[in-house]
Amino acid sequence: MKIHLIGDRQSGTLPNPRFVGLTSAGLNDGPALVQVADSLPYLEVYAEKAYDYLKRKIGLPFTLLEIN
């Protein structure tokens, strides 16, 4: 089992969790985010491990930004 977290950005601290999901251990962050993308209220999504997967996807309902 794997926990996926999507949160609201907060300057100077960790994100405030908004969505938490459980998936099978074999599902990576990118495909997990694609499954819920249409229900997210965000215009911009900062992604870490999911970035490489999502940058190849067309038609996402948000702008994808990489965490450096």
Three-state secondary-structure class, residue 4: strand
What is the rounded average pLDDT of the residues 12-27? 91
Containing domain of residue 57, as a range? 2-66
Q: Please tell me the pTM assigned to this model.
A: 0.73
- Confidence at residue 9, expressed as pLDDT on a 0 to 100 scale: 86
- Confidence at residue 48, expressed as pLDDT on a 0 to 100 scale: 82
57, pLDDT greater than 70: yes
The number of distinct structural domains making up the chain is 1
- Confidence at residue 68, expressed as pLDDT on a 0 to 100 scale: 67
Identity (one letter) of the amino acid at 58? I
- Confidence at residue 5, expressed as pLDDT on a 0 to 100 scale: 87
Q: List beta partners, residue 65.
A: 46
Give CA–CA dist 20/34, Å, rounded: 14
What is the rounded average pLDDT of the residues 38-67? 87
What is the rounded end-to-end Cα distance, in angstroms, of the chain? 27
